[in-house]
Amino acid sequence: MPLTFDPGFMLLRLLSLIPNSVFMIVVYLRLRHLLPLAIVHWLMDGTSVVLPLLQQ
């Protein structure tokens, strides 16, 4: 994620956290376990590392 001091981009990044947070809260309230969320987070982090390597 680039560090951009554009006010519109900064506002978009701030507001994009709200739907993601609501979604994560709903998933947690349904599952009542953090392990599935941690595994998905780990997979997303791994994907964000591997995908740029595949595009070269």
pTM for the whole thing? 0.65
Beta-carbon neighbour count of residue 56 at 10 Å? 4
Give me 8's structure tokens.
Answer: 């519109």
Answer whether 8's CB lies under 8 Å from 15's CB: no
Give me 15's structure tokens.
Answer: 């507001």
pLDDT over 90 (residue 35): yes
Task: Return d(Cα 27, Cα 35) in angstroms, integer.
Answer: 12
pLDDT over 70 (residue 5): yes
Give me 28's structure tokens.
Answer: 């947690």
pLDDT over 70 (residue 30): yes
Phi first, then psi: what are they for 23, rounded to 5°? -60, -45
- How confident is the model at residue 1, as a pLDDT? 64
pLDDT over 90 (residue 2): no
